[in-house]
Structure 1
């Protein structure tokens, strides 16, 4: 099997001009490690990919392939042991307001602050906006996620899905260069998860932000992403890259969608087992 193969269907040249922009994020030959009590574990090995402005780029792989660790490295929380990560041509050397993370956990909102305060407070600290301007921008993005009427509510009164919508509004209000999402819908029930996926795509249509999204669900990757990087089981290596902009929730029952799901599963698991 050829190392780091690229599977592309359809060709990138077939994408609309709206989906093709200047290279924004460059990850080059990145290897990541973390320490346990017993040993040092290699999470990813020699991973490379580029994210372009307006991309919905998905890191897809099984548990333990290092995709979340890779997202944290892009966020500046982990330093690669080799390789480089750059944003707008500048090396990533730590966290910054140009990269905002939405995590899987629902309890990422300070419980003593209202919904409005949760969204506005980071704007006042990081963007140095005044109270009125921060509240105005916060309300704008709360409207985008359909939570204007809950602006004065506290997090403990919200459902899990609503808390995630507040976290997304807070992240988008910061107007980051790249929005990082680490399996943000994994803990939701199936119906709420689908609704959140639809809302995320609707927001992308309105705002056209750049998204780096982590998931272990093949179906979610095909629907949420317009480009997908497949990572092999531990340690994560690039198995393939593909385009998926042609799919939506309406594609679930189509034969081509199911063929893509089966092909990705084969690339992620079966070929590795055959090679043993």
Structure 2
């Protein structure tokens, strides 16, 4: 379910742009999530509702501790809501599945004893989707997509952080999931590499038109990567607003309208009174 229309902020940088949507794919319906610490049970998100459509680049944006990563894990099926439900293609999410693949922030996602090619092909073989030859062919295809076909026989310890993330993205896309989930995948990279990775991700999306659910706490990154951005309040996370960010691009980041959009989002995130629990 989408937020109340009154809470939606429509970016006004270009009135002629249209959001990229098709059929409803993921629905988060009045979802509350909790996790346990040594001292207490903590509510991570409260009564959240939104929809993700096919080919969306949907971004969850909010300050640290607002529950965006916890929500991503719940959509992946690793955490069960204490209230509400999450559906994929209308069916309730009840656990992890190959239709939802996660790319995490950490660079050590790749088994170090496997080559780059083996890392990408291995999940295909485990899922029994393809023969060995077919898995190799598809793995090479996606390594070529991320510009790493020439590193197919390299081992992860020989790669830079950005290259490891590109392998992780290739591995995820090779599974051809219904939704690609990315949890702050570029946060640990230096500024130049992060910019290049954002550009490469958008190029991949233009080629493949996969559905992307992306978590970040960077307003600029959210505007560049996403075509729709959901703003979450500080802890516990609630839906604060939703915006159409398709008018904004990396090339326009220095423009006045882009900076104005950043300022307006910052105000929505941090300068609005919290709703009562």
Within-5 A mapping of 1:33-48: 33-48=34-49
Provide the aligned C-alpha RMSD in A: 1.9
Q: Given that residues 4 and 239 in structure 1 are in contact (C-alpha distance below 8 angstroms), is that contact kept between their aligned partners in structure 2? A: no
Within-5 A mapping of 1:49-198: 49-198=50-199
- SS in structure 1 of the partner of residue 234 of structure 2: coil
Residue matched to 1:20: 21
Deviation string 1:103-132 (CA, Å, 9 cap, x unpaired) is 000000000000000000000111431110
1:271 is displaced (CA, Å) by 1.6
Closer/same/farther in 2, CA of residues 117 and 274 from structure 1, 3 Å limit:
closer
Residue matched to 1:7: 9
- SS in structure 2 of the partner of residue 7 of structure 1: strand
- SS in structure 2 of the partner of residue 140 of structure 1: helix
1:267 aligns with 2:271: no
Unaligned runs of 5+ in 1: none
Distance 1:273 1:47 in 2: 14
Q: Given that residues 17 and 247 in structure 2 are in contact (C-alpha distance below 8 angstroms), is that contact kept between their aligned partners in structure 1? A: no
Q: Given that residues 11 and 247 in structure 2 are in contact (C-alpha distance below 8 angstroms), is that contact kept between their aligned partners in structure 1? A: no
Distance 1:48 1:242 in 2: 15
Distance 1:98 1:204 in 2: 17
- SS in structure 1 of the partner of residue 35 of structure 2: strand
Distance 1:3 1:37 in 2: 40
Closer/same/farther in 2, CA of residues 185 and 111 from structure 1, 3 Å limit:
same
1:7 is displaced (CA, Å) by 1.8
- SS in structure 2 of the partner of residue 122 of structure 1: helix
1:15 is displaced (CA, Å) by 4.6
Q: Give the TM-score of the pair, scaled to structure 1.
A: 0.95
Distance 2:268 2:214 in 1: 20
Q: Given that residues 69 and 183 in structure 2 are in contact (C-alpha distance below 8 angstroms), is that contact kept between their aligned partners in structure 1? A: yes
Distance 1:94 1:111 in 2: 27
1:4 is displaced (CA, Å) by 8.1
- SS in structure 2 of the partner of residue 271 of structure 1: coil
